[in-house]
Amino acid sequence: MSPGLKILLAADTAGHTTGYYVVARGLRDAGFEVVLGGHLVPRRIAEVAVEEDIDAIGYRIMDGAPEILVPMLMDALKAHGAGGVPVIIGGIVPPHLIPRLKELGVREVFTPGAPLPAIVEWLREHCSV
């Protein structure tokens, strides 16, 4: 992994932020550059990803419906010419939806309780600049 890996973190809602900030801090401590997008709609996530020249997107879904939000995000990324940017989902995702999200192009899903070292390791192994 290059130390220049730049990750956009975005969330479906403004609530439940503790895990979002824990992951952000852990990624920064691991040497990643983290852009905190906060609560963004899928279209805006794609816009920020292009504006910030992002290498990967971490999308925290806690209250939304991933089966609705993820297709919207993937379509928005394609529309903005960023369809190849890896998308990683974190948060509350029903296990039966994970295969469908991966079919849509999500690279990995980390549910609550995923150890931070596992997230860091996954990013180092699967994302590069």
Of the pLDDT bands very low, low, confident and very high (cuts 50, 70, 90), residue 13 is confident
**Range 76-84, long-range pairs (CB < 8 A, 24+ positions):** 76/42, 76/43, 76/45, 76/46, 76/47, 77/45, 77/46, 77/49, 79/46, 80/46, 80/47, 80/49, 80/50, 81/50, 82/46, 82/49, 82/50, 82/54
Say if residue 67 is exposed, middle or buried (CB neighbours under 10 Å; 0-12, 13-18, 19+).
middle
Tens digit of each residue's pLDDT (9 = 90 or more) over 114-125: 999 999 999 999
Buried b (16+ CB within 10 A) or exposed e, 85-111: bbbbbbbebeeebbeebeeebbbbbbe
pLDDT tens digit sequence for 86-116: 999 999 899 999 999 999 999 999 998 999 9
pLDDT band at 3 (very low <50, low <70, confident <90, very high): low
How is domain 6-123 classified at the CATH fold level? Rossmann fold (3.40.50)
